[in-house]
Each structure stands twice: as C-alpha cells, then as structure tokens.
Structure 1
Amino acid sequence: MGVADSVVPFGPRWQRARRVARLAAIGAGASAAAYVATAGVLLGQARQARRTIPMAEAPPPRCDGVYGAKFTGEPLTMVVLGDSSAAGYGVHRRRETPGALLATGLSRRTQRPVRLHRFAVVGAISAVLRHQVEAALECRPDIAVILIGGNDVTNRTPPALAVRYLVDAVRALRAAGCEVVVGTCPDLGAIRPIQPPLRWLARRWSRQLAAAQTLGVVEAGGWTVSLGDLLGPRFAAEPTRMFAWDRFHPSAEGYAVAAAAMLPTVLSALGTGQERRAAAAPGQGVRSLPEAAQEAARHAGTEVSGAQVRGRDHGPAGRWAQLRRRAFFGVGSVPQSGTATDSPTVEGLA
C-alpha cells in the first residue's frame, strides 16, 4: 500500500454520485437523507485521514544488489514490483526492505546467490505495473514478487480494472518464463487514522480486491499469498512496533512478518520448497478457484496456486486451485537501530 492520497472516491464519478444522492433525498425521504448524512461522515473522515497520514518525504532505501554472494552457482534473479509496500517505504536500511528480506531468505534456502532488482514505486496503482514489467523483463528474472492494491483501494479504482492491469502484468512475466508471486491487497481497515465507518468500508473493499486478484493471478499462471488478515490483527495490537512513523506503512518488523509469510510460496514457485510435497492439513486442499479465492481473502497467510484434478485444469465450477496455509519461514531477526549494514552484498539479516 502506498501513501494515502485519498480514502474515498473523489473526482467526477464521486461528484455525480453525490448529486444523485441529493436528488434521491428529495423524493425518498428519511432513508435517502440518512444515506447523504453517511456520505458526509465518510467525506469528513477521508479529509481527516489525509491530514493525519503524512505524505512521503523521502524515497525508500535502494535494495538492489547480490545477496548471498558467498554461495556458488548461477545467481537467481528476483524482481520486486508494485507500490510502496513492495519498495519498503517506512524503513531506513536496505536490509529491512521486503526485497532484501526475501532475497536473503531465498539465498539461504537455495544456497545460491540472488540478484535483486527493485522496480516498485511509492504511490503506484495497478495501472503502472505495465511500465515496471517492461523494465523488469530486461533483467530476465527467474521470479517476480508483486505487492499492489492498497492505492487502488484508497483511490477507488474499480476492482475489475485494477485486476485487469495486474493480470496483464502476470501474463507478460509468465510468457517470459518468470514465476510470479503476488501478495494480495492488504487490510486497510487496520490503519489507525482511518476511523469507523470508513474503516469498515476500507476492510470490505480490501478483501473484495484481494479475492479478485487471486482469481485473476492464478488463472494467469501465478501464485498468491493473502496478507490482509495476516497483518491486520498484529498491526492493531502492536501499532507502535508494526507501523512505521507515518502510522500507515509497516515498520521493519511489519515487513519481516510479511516476508516470512511470502517466502515459502516464493520457494515453491521456483520448485525448491520441500513443503510442496507435504500432505494437506485440515481446511486445505484442492477446490474451485472462486472458492479458494474467497477462502484466502478470509484467512491470513493462505497460498493459492493452480492445480489439476484427473489431469484437468478446470472443473464444473471453474479452474481448480490448490489452497495451502503455510508455516512461516524465518527471514532473520530484525536488526536494532544502528547495528545493520547497508551493503547489499552481505547475506542479510543475522
């Protein structure tokens, strides 16, 4: 998720909606009047949230480089695409960014160096993924990690449009032979400056987009990991630890939690995760993709990928999908301030 420019839909569409609401209130009596009053509350909360959440003042640290340089073999190439949550806005050291955390974990578990390129941009919406993909393909990546969706929610991008841009990005990467893992839209209902009832709507919009992202990404040949409900409760319980200074983006510890949730899927997408062959635990297994997408949106840390049943990709209810709930892989301890190195060629977290 990126810097919150807005948290309800503004512009011509929202202005038209307000005009329609005012006209409806004249003829519909108390119910429509109550709706307009609610809309006024949401507008007021949106303005307050924008005043409370600071704007980005500095870019996140660059994390490009080779991780695990001590290992031998051909380096794996990883690219990180998306918005400020992918770029690591809110931390000050490169080793604390999601890209560095994932590259470190991947290097350690494959015993190979990992060359990391970050193309994620603060404030990005799904529409800009096309430009990031074009740049990323020049690196001939083995694996792409995409974190996107928060800004689409705060700007009220129609979910179908946001997902279409994301699917186009996944298809372009897959056509080039790159595996793709998408961390779906985070739970914006955990953001403290956003108050009820706007918080409830933000949570609903986030879950709807996350489910739609899962449907599109898996159909396009990618993997997804649901992040919303995974981080939301911990962020709400420990806001001073899990949030950065702006109370909107994750802190170093918050990013470490997200990276730990995604690393097993990154390994599996590359065919190096031993847990792929493990028996499914209760509540997991193969089901239709629409069912798996809804299940993943409701439960934290759930991985969804394509599957086959009797040699077929599709069944009566649509594409088959494998749903798994992973045990987190540690990506290393979070360094204390002043103790981390900024060199991208070190292995990473101690």
Structure 2
Amino acid sequence: MAELGKVAGRALAGAAGTALAGVTAAGLGYGLIQAEAKITRRIVGNPFDGAPDDDGVYGAAPGDPVRLLVLGDSTAAGMGADNRYQTIGAILASGLAAIMGRPVELTNEAVVGAESSDLNIQLSRALARIDHADVAVILVGANDVTHRIDRSVSVKHLQRTVRYLRTLDIPVVVGTCPDLGTVEPVPFPLNRLLRQWSRELAAAQTVTAVEAGARTVSIGDLLGPEFAASPSVMFSQDRFHPSAAGYARVASALLPTVAAEVNAWPEDAKSDTEPEPSRGEGIGALDDAAERAVFSPGTEVAPAELKGHRAGPRGPWAMLRRRGEHQVTDV
C-alpha cells in the first residue's frame, strides 16, 4: 500500500465529479477531501524503512522444496511486519510446508509502493533468479487506487503478468485490492471514495485475472471488523499497513486457494467440481461472481465449465467458493 498522503495530489485529481456525487451531501466538495487527505497524511506518516527480507526455505521436512513466488506491493512485501517470519509470503510458505510435509522455498520480488505496472519488472527479476515456480501469489492494487490509475490500465498490467505466468505453466493466485475505506485514520467522505474505488478495482481484477487463468481471493474489508475491535493488534504502528496479526489473517484466507493450486488442500477430489450451495458456492457468470466476491472477503473465484462449456451467453463461467480459513501452525 502507498502513503495515503499522495491521495491529496494524483489520487484525487479529477475525482470530485461523478465520484463525489454519490457520496457527499450538499456543501461537501473537493476542497474538503483535499483537507482530509492532508490530515490523513499527518496521521499515517511513514515510520518504516522497508519490509523484511523473507526469501528462503521454510519447513524442516526432507524432500525437494515447493517453489512459491510472491509479487506485488508493500502488503506482499510485508511492510509493518517485525521480522521475516511474519510476512504473508512467509506465513504461506510455512502453511504449505505444514500441509504438504515438504520444505517450501519462497522468492519474494514484491516492492513497497508498487503499482500493477511494476509487476512485469518484478516477474522478470524473479525469473532471472529461479528457473520455475510451483505457484505464484500476486497482491496488488492499493497503490493503483491511491494514485488514481485508470482501472483499465491497471488490470491490463495484471492480465499481462498472469498470462505470462500461465504460459510457463505456473498456477497463479491473485489477492484482489483491499478495501482502503476501512482504514481508521481516513475520515468521511474520503473513506467512501476509497471504498468505492477499491471495490471497483477488486471486481475488475477478478474478471481479468480469472479470464487469464488465475484464481482470485477477495481481500476486501477482511481486516475491517478486527481493526474496529482491536486496531492496535491488527494494524502496525502506521495504522495503515497490517501488523503480524493482520498479515496472518490475510494469509489464512489465501492459504486454502494457494494449497489447492498445488493439489495440496486437504479436501476430497470433488471439491473443485461440485460447489456447496449451502455455503453460497456455485457456478455462474464471471462478472456476477466478481461482484459477489467483493462484498464477501475470503471468497475464491476460479475459471469453471458448465455442461462442457467455459462460457455462456454472458461470458465466461466462474466458480465462486468459500473454502474457509486455515489456521497456520509453526513448522
């Protein structure tokens, strides 16, 4: 995620028109939001020099390591974590090692402040270091929102990265844009704008990534209720990036899907072909699944077939699944 202070400039340029119409009452306008962005910048600050270096092998079991690649922004990099074992990448690696009984080698090329346009260079750097990966995880979008990058441009970069990974036969899991409107220091009506932009980008990311062959997991306001109840626990000292507990919460939502992509999730073989309607799962139009996922954090959306067809009258089919969270244990 980026510094929220940048919202005052590039993030809010041109946003006071139609976006404001739906979230402001009479008398509220662009000047108020500019002032609120400046206040937020002072509150949030920038207390971190960077993120821990979490590259390495996790798990003590013997055997060839499973190779996990992480790309994205400061959330993927782990800004706010106290040490290398608290990042999302490290928690996913530890979780996979525990589930699979094999070591997991993590390569993390995520960069603090990255936008979707930076994914290509991150992937190039990663492939210069490793020959192949068994699964890739991408977490990106918050900086695209705060920098007001056009959604079509943002998702085009994401699509290009996912497609290239899939041509290399690397499964991909995309954690979609978090809901920036849930961050406590952001006041009304700026928080409403950020929520709207975040959800619109998350839905667009879902459609684009699934069309390109990835599975997505909605992050949304996953930390919202916990932040409201225990902000000092779930968020780091800047009150914007997750703490170790916050990263563990996000990783627990991602882990089932990441494990499923390497055929390691402990469910029977029918789990990917027969959704459970009682849990709100099902197969439907991709755009519908994307909209539903935005409002249900932790929801997985994946490519699907219906009666032998990958698309229907409204476009591609998608499976919406709620795998539930997995408690990560130390290995």
Q: Which residue of 1 aligns with 2:318?
A: 321
CA distance in structure 2 between the partners assigned to 1:17 and 1:268 by the alignment? 40
| 1:183 corresponds to which of 175, 183, 200 | 175
Deviation string for 1:162-197 (max 9, x for gaps)? 111111111111111111101100010111111001
- Kept after mapping to 1: 8 A contact 2:283/2:320: yes
Q: Which residue of 1 aligns with 2:124?
A: 134
Instruction: Give TM-score scaled by structure 2 length.
Output: 0.91
Bigger drift between 293-302 and 129-138 goes to 129-138
Bigger drift between 137-146 and 50-59 goes to 50-59
- Whether 2:39 is the aligned partner of 1:48: answer yes
- Whether 2:120 is the aligned partner of 1:124: answer no
Displacement of 1:135 in angstroms is 1.5
- Kept after mapping to 2: 8 A contact 1:2/1:85: no
CA distance in structure 2 between the partners assigned to 1:56 and 1:132 by the alignment? 25
Q: Which residue of 2 aligns with 1:71?
A: 61
How many residues are paired up? 318
CA distance in structure 2 between the partners assigned to 1:236 and 1:281 by the alignment? 31
- Kept after mapping to 1: 8 A contact 2:284/2:319: yes
- Kept after mapping to 2: 8 A contact 1:2/1:249: no
Ranges in structure 1 where 5+ consecutive residues have no aligned partner: 22-33, 333-348
Deviation string for 1:307-339 (max 9, x for gaps)? 01111111111101010012211113xxxxxxx
Q: What is the root-mean-square deviation of aligned Cα atoms in Å?
A: 2.0
Q: Which residue of 1 aligns with 2:21?
A: none
SS at match of 1:311: coil
CA distance in structure 2 between the partners assigned to 1:319 and 1:272 by the alignment? 26
Ranges in structure 2 where 5+ consecutive residues have no aligned partner: 19-24
CA distance in structure 2 between the partners assigned to 1:208 and 1:169 by the alignment? 20
Instruction: Say if 1:56 and 1:160 are closer, same or farther in 2 by CA, change over 3 A.
Output: farther
Displacement of 1:257 in angstroms is 0.4
Paired letter, 1:88: G
CA distance in structure 2 between the partners assigned to 1:5 and 1:165 by the alignment? 24
- Whether 2:255 is the aligned partner of 1:263: answer yes
CA distance in structure 2 between the partners assigned to 1:190 and 1:229 by the alignment? 6
CA distance in structure 2 between the partners assigned to 1:324 and 1:45 by the alignment? 38
CA distance in structure 2 between the partners assigned to 1:246 and 1:121 by the alignment? 18
Displacement of 1:37 in angstroms is 4.6
Q: Which residue of 2 aligns with 1:3?
A: 3
Displacement of 1:273 in angstroms is 1.8
CA distance in structure 2 between the partners assigned to 1:264 and 1:8 by the alignment? 38
Larger Rg belongs to = 1
CA distance in structure 1 between the partners assigned to 2:26 and 2:216 by the alignment? 36
- Kept after mapping to 1: 8 A contact 2:235/2:243: yes
- Kept after mapping to 2: 8 A contact 1:9/1:154: no
Paired letter, 1:136: A
CA distance in structure 1 between the partners assigned to 2:15 and 2:145 by the alignment? 18
| 1:246 corresponds to which of 228, 238, 242 | 238
Q: Percent identity?
A: 46
Displacement of 1:230 in angstroms is 2.0
- Kept after mapping to 1: 8 A contact 2:5/2:38: no
